[in-house]
């Protein structure tokens, strides 16, 4: 049974939506116990391929329609890249989006900023991005034949939105009610967004978790695409500990749809308590 295209929540006076972009199938070897430098096996995960969800989040605020991440676009179609269908089912067109906050520029987040020809999808949106993330992706040559998919996706996005990019400094307010929180490790500029209104809040933490069934219990497991694995583990442990201590509602791009829940401490690790509805 595939999950629904969207799920509605409210945070104060903000309407918040989990948007289902699709799913990715990954080999277990993409998950790595960082301190022990050991990749997971099919036996560890009891599967040859693990499926992870791709979520985006949409905030309908008093002053604009704010998208957090843009999904895969054409990169993994048709398994993923369904963001625009989910938006359309909600009655929104891409032109209605006024601001896009990027957690980072991997292809499963930035791919959807452009169409299959590299043209801008969200014509009226400004794109907010941490400067460390911008600097990181700008060092690569996307025209290199060996350039990876994320290098190409980042270059395409930065080119298509070059006049519409806004730097998003750490702990700034890219939009009213939204604060940027640096979560470095997965990428240098990986950023979460704390959304708060009228005493309610939700923390959109991007890629703190790729595989919920593994990483909450064993936070030492990173993902092969982590730019700085040890820093990623440290950031994940802190994010889990803070969320558990505060009873925070968190939202993740790769948590099982709708990607929202709370975190509890168990023994040496943590567990995820998914939330089914508002
Ligand atoms: Zn991702």
**Distance (Å) from CA 53 to ligand 1 centroid:** 9
**Distance (Å) from CA 91 to ligand 1 centroid:** 26
**Distance (Å) from CA 253 to ligand 1 centroid:** 7
**Distance (Å) from CA 36 to ligand 1 centroid:** 23
**Distance (Å) from CA 106 to ligand 1 centroid:** 6
Instruction: Report d(CA 122, CA 185) in Å as an integer.
Output: 28
**Distance (Å) from CA 98 to ligand 1 centroid:** 23
Q: What does the pLDDT read at residue 169?
A: 97
Q: What does the pLDDT read at residue 278?
A: 47
Q: What does the pLDDT read at residue 62?
A: 82
- Please answer whether residues 49 and 71 qualify as being in contact, where contact means their C-beta atoms are separated by less than 8 angstroms: no
**Distance (Å) from CA 184 to ligand 1 centroid:** 14
User: pLDDT (tens digit, 0 to 9) for every residue of the chain, 278 residues total?
Assistant: 678 999 999 999 999 999 999 999 999 999 999 999 999 999 999 999 999 999 999 999 988 999 999 999 999 999 999 999 999 999 999 999 999 999 999 999 999 999 999 999 999 999 999 999 999 999 999 999 889 999 999 999 999 999 999 999 999 999 999 999 999 999 999 999 999 999 999 999 999 999 999 999 999 999 999 999 999 999 999 999 999 999 999 999 999 999 999 999 998 899 999 997 64
Q: What does the pLDDT read at residue 277?
A: 61
In this prediction the pTM is 0.97
**Distance (Å) from CA 71 to ligand 1 centroid:** 9
Half-sphere exposure of 188 (CA within 13 A, CB side): 9
**Distance (Å) from CA 205 to ligand 1 centroid:** 11
Q: What does the pLDDT read at residue 150?
A: 95
Contact partners, residue 229, CB within 8 Å, separation at least 6:
32, 34, 185, 222
**Distance (Å) from CA 175 to ligand 1 centroid:** 23
DSSP for 59-119? Answer: EEETTEEEEE----TTTTTTTB--HHHHHHHTT--GGG--EEE-S---HHHHGGGB-TTS-
């Amino acid at each position: 049974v595939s999950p629904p295209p969207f799920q509605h929540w409210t945070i104060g006076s903000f309407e918040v939506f989990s948007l289902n972009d699709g799913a990715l199938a990954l080999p277990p070897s993409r998950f790595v116990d960082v301190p022990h430098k050991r990749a997971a096996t099919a036996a560890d995960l009891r599967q040859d391929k693990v499926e992870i969800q791709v979520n985006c989040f949409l905030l309908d605020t008093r002053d604009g329609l704010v998208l957090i991440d843009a999904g895969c676009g054409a990169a993994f179609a048709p398994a993923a890249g369904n963001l625009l269908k989910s938006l359309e089912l909600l009655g929104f067109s891409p032109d209605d989006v006024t601001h896009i906050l990027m957690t980072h520029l991997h292809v499963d987040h930035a791919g959807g900023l452009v169409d299959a020809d590299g043209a801008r999808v969200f014509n009226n949106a400004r794109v907010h991005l941490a400067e460390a993330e911008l600097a990181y992706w700008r060092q690569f040559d996307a025209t290199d034949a060996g350039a990876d998919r994320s290098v190409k996706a980042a270059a395409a996005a930065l080119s298509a939105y070059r006049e519409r990019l806004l730097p998003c400094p750490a702990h700034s307010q890219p939009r009213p009610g939204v604060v940027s929180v640096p979560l470095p490790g997965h990428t240098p500029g990986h950023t979460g967004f704390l959304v708060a209104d009228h005493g309610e809040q939700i923390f959109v933490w991007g890629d703190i978790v790729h595989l919920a069934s593994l990483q909450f219990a064993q936070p030492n497991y990173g993902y092969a695409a982590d730019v700085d694995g040890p820093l990623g583990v440290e950031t994940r442990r802190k994010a889990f500990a803070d969320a558990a201590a505060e009873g925070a509602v968190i939202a993740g791009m790769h948590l099982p749809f709708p990607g929202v829940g709370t975190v509890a401490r168990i023994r040496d690790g943590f567990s995820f308590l998914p939330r089914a509805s508002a």
